[in-house]
Homo-oligomer: A and B are copies of this chain.
Amino acid sequence: MPKNNFPPSAKRLQALWVELEKQGIDGFIVPHADEFQSEYVPPSAQRLAWLTGFTGSAGLAIVHRNGSTIFVDGRYTIAVREQIDQNIFQINHISECTPEKWLSKQPAAKLGYDSWLHTPKELAKLKAACKKAGSELISCENNPIDAIWTEQPQIPLSPVIPHPLCYSGETSQTKREKIAKKLIEDKIDATIITTPDSIAWLLNIRGNDIPYAPLPLSFAILYSNATIDLFIHPKKIGQGLIEHLGKTVTIQPKNSLANKLKELGQAKKTVLLDEKQTANWIFEQIIGAKIIKGNDVCLLAKASKNPTEITGMRTAHHRDGIALTRFLYWLNKNAPNKSIDEIQAAEQLEKYRKENNNKEYQYLSFETISAAGSNAAIVHYQVNPKTNKKLEKNSIYLVDSGGQYLDGTTDVTRTIVIGKATTEQKTRFTQVLKGHIALANCRFPKGTTGTQLDILARHTLWQSGLDYQHGTGHGVGSYLSVHEGPQSISQRANNVELKTGMIISNEPGYYKEGAFGIRIENLVLVTEAQNIKGGETPMMSFETLTLAPIDLNLVEISILNQTEIAWLNDYHQKVFREIGQELEEAEREWLVGCTRMI
């Protein structure tokens, strides 16, 4: 969203107040989430963006008699100021003031929420905070935003289609039988699966309901006999789906979910629910059942890719690396002389991704972050015609992008200097690179979590009094969401052990507001480490999957130690070996220089 061109928040808020008065409440809580508690929200459920203008992938607004506010995390500190009207919404940084803290200090009020858009865990925290303030939190049967949102888009009804075994590597039946065995062991009769990517993985299906990820928005109930009820709109049944799903999967209309849940309750079944990602609404329907709280049964199995998926990821990265390298060559050739802007650059990169592939490439895995100069300091910057900057000589350019391929999902960031970098820029780039290498190169015992490793990426920056305000690594799906859990490499406490087959990003950065931004991102695969002489404890390590040169013109070699230099040389040799032969001659010659030994 452009500066000084905010969406009509004032008018919309006015309409919302009329509706809230009608419903007899003094405020309303507007989370980013949809009913799937997903980061990826279809236009029909982008209520937070519609009301406030804020388009980030996480956030929460509270409309309150005492003033309205929006809460965002460190990734969006800058972006939110560009997108929302601060006369209407006060900005709160979640690390300084949580919604709970804010709510507990407001005058008593009757606040509404939509039971579909919150997990019971979130609600419990919000309710406790309201209680402190003497406020009440009331479930609104009809979401008041939906009531006033006249142009609200239709719910997506894209076809759901099979995802073939050559990409998934394991039949749905086998996956379900493994999980069902575990359910029986734990004396659980059924589990409700509420996240579209878990359903996609479990049934080997893909959809097209939201941009950038092939998610089939739907719900499912998996029973301990490995059969499943899949709740989707009949219009969404795509080609070959019925045959693919087979007899053990029953397709149900979405509106029969409530009844099925009630049946489980009435039959006093033992039902596993993930309270971190299941809408409170579902808990409300299932009264009478014995609820076991636990993790989504697909989560860990989906996170650890099987050999077919790993091969697919490697192939997708090979393809993607060629596209990105060709783009970097094009940039190197054209940026210094011709006038290229952020939008043109993003389009050119997308063109290479498309060109390069006939069959597997589907679309981008997220909107490309194409950020020149000071725009790159906005961590989740998204270019639009008003912010669109030229790639100027002697400035640095950051491009964070990825592709969805049938055999895998990519996500890569490169930071490039057009012309000559300043000493400060080279120092910072090299400090970020040292963090990237420390993580890429590390060996760690079984049982280690991403939280424990995070500091490897930050340590050099910390020693210089610097830091970055985002996580270091997120899980990545296999032709699924580009952000997937449960593992992460982050300062936030995460007790999920990094297991063989997990894929995770390695993306430290540094951002100087108003000046420049740096991020170096590769995806890595968790593997068992090769034995080492004298080693006693079995270790894990990372295999870097991403293949594209790291700009040596931004590297201050004197700051690197021998281990770091060796890693960078090895990496560049691998990049050249794996993609050099697939480039045109001029591109290849250029790549020789880019991957030279230092």
Cβ contact within 8 Å between A454 and B456: no
Q: Does A581 contact B (CB under 8 A)?
A: no
Residue in contact with A495 in the complex, picked from B442, B449, B493, B535, CB distance below 8 Å: B493
Residues of B within 8 A of A444 (CB): 455, 462
Q: Does A532 contact B (CB under 8 A)?
A: yes
Q: How far is the CB of A331 from chain B (nearest CB, A)?
A: 29
When each residue 332-365 of chain A gets 1 if its CB lies under 8 Å from chain B and 0 otherwise, what string results?
0000000000000000000000000000000000
Residues of B within 8 A of A493 (CB): 449, 451, 493, 495
Residue in contact with A539 in the complex, picked from B462, B536, B537, B561, CB distance below 8 Å: B462
Residues of B within 8 A of A447 (CB): 95, 491
CA distance A529 to B465 in the complex (A): 9
Q: How far is the CB of A124 from chain B (nearest CB, A)?
A: 13
Q: Does A466 contact B (CB under 8 A)?
A: yes
Cβ contact within 8 Å between B491 and A465: no
Cβ contact within 8 Å between B445 and A462: yes
Report the nearest B residue to A438, measured CB to CB: B459
Residue in contact with A534 in the complex, picked from B454, B464, B495, B531, CB distance below 8 Å: B464
Residue in contact with A465 in the complex, picked from B455, B467, B535, B561, CB distance below 8 Å: B535
Residues of B within 8 A of A467 (CB): 445, 536-537
CA distance A462 to B465 in the complex (A): 26
When each residue 446-458 of chain A gets 1 if its CB lies under 8 Å from chain B and 0 otherwise, what string results?
0111011111100
Q: Does A463 contact B (CB under 8 A)?
A: yes
CA distance A531 to B445 in the complex (A): 35
Cβ contact within 8 Å between B464 and A535: yes
Cβ contact within 8 Å between A491 and B454: no
When each residue 159-182 of chain A gets 1 if its CB lies under 8 Å from chain B and 0 otherwise, what string results?
000000000000000000000000
Q: Does A443 contact B (CB under 8 A)?
A: yes
Report the nearest B residue to A492, measured CB to CB: B495
Cβ contact within 8 Å between B459 and A442: yes
Residues of B within 8 A of A539 (CB): 462, 465
- Count how many chain A residues have C-beta atoms less than 8 Å from C-beta atoms of the other chain: 36
This chain's copy number in the assembly:
2
- Taking each of A187, A442, A465, which has the highest tally of chain B beta carbons within 10 Å of its own beta carbon? A465
Q: How far is the CB of A253 from chain B (nearest CB, A)?
A: 37
CA distance A531 to B465 in the complex (A): 8
Residues of B within 8 A of A186 (CB): 132
CA distance A186 to B104 in the complex (A): 10
Cβ contact within 8 Å between B442 and A463: yes
CA distance A387 to B579 in the complex (A): 63
Residues of B within 8 A of A448 (CB): 491
CA distance A79 to B443 in the complex (A): 29
Q: How far is the CB of A93 from chain B (nearest CB, A)?
A: 13
CA distance A264 to B536 in the complex (A): 56
Q: How far is the CB of A417 from chain B (nearest CB, A)?
A: 20
Report the nearest B residue to A530, measured CB to CB: B465
Residues of B within 8 A of A95 (CB): 447
Residue in contact with A443 in the complex, picked from B132, B463, B537, CB distance below 8 Å: B463
Cβ contact within 8 Å between A537 and B465: yes
**Could you list 28 A-B pairs, sorted by A, with CB under 8 Å?**
A132-B187, A442-B459, A442-B462, A442-B463, A443-B462, A443-B465, A444-B455, A444-B462, A445-B462, A445-B467, A448-B491, A449-B493, A451-B452, A451-B493, A452-B454, A452-B491, A453-B455, A455-B455, A462-B537, A462-B539, A464-B535, A465-B529, A465-B535, A465-B539, A466-B534, A466-B535, A466-B536, A561-B561
Nearest 6 CB-CB pairings of A with B: A465-B535, A465-B532, A467-B537, A493-B495, A443-B462, A452-B455
Binding site for B on A (CB under 8 A): 95, 132, 186-187, 442-445, 447-449, 451-456, 459, 462-467, 491, 493, 495, 529, 531-532, 534-537, 539, 561
